[in-house]
Amino acid sequence: MALFIGLGNPGSKYENTRHNIGFRVIDKLLSDLGARDISKASFQGELFKYSNHYFLKPTTFMNLSGKSVLAVKQFYKIDMEDIIVIHDDIDLPFGALRFKRGGGHGGHNGLKSIDGVIGKEYIRVRVGVGKPEHKSQVADYVLHDFSKEEEKYIDRLISHTAEACMKLTVETLTEVKSKFSLKSLDGVVG
């Protein structure tokens, strides 16, 4: 059993923003697997099930994602080691992909919210979105759409990430890291 959580903000205004890469990976998984919707108002998110896996897109807005995660975790009695959070990471170049268990939130409000309610020892699938020139531009940067150039490669990055996520259900974190980690866009383009 695994609970995959894609981080993002609800609404068409945010659909293609850098901050919503987690939602886009979940959408790809849902499309590939044909998962069924099992959402309930109490989950504060869109929840889908395929086989014995759950796929969550919190609809609370990023900084309250933990509320939705906690509701689903408690309802289905999901263990910490079975939680996988997919999120944007500005500390990685666009196209990079990293995996780790635990760690800090790095200023990411979605992770901060989740850490605050369930702890930090879940698996993080970190999708590199690059970073702006100045720290003061971060909020604006992550809430903007990918550039036209980036959009050319985004589908391949999302597919690669979705494949890696499903491998986490049958292989160890170390195995998935060695097979699917990307240093940059070169891994997706090449």
- Residues catalogued as catalytic: 19
Tell me, letter by letter, the H, E, C secondary structure of the chain: CEEEEECCCCCCCCCCEHHHHHHHHHHHHHHHHCCEECCCHHHCEEEEEECCEEEEEECCCHHHHHHHHHHHHHHCCCCHHHEEEEEEECCCCCCCEEEEECCCCCCCHHHHHHHHHHCCCCEEEEEECCCCCCHHHHHHHHCCECCHHHHHHHHHHHHHHHHHHHHCCCCCHHHHHHHHCECCCHHHHC
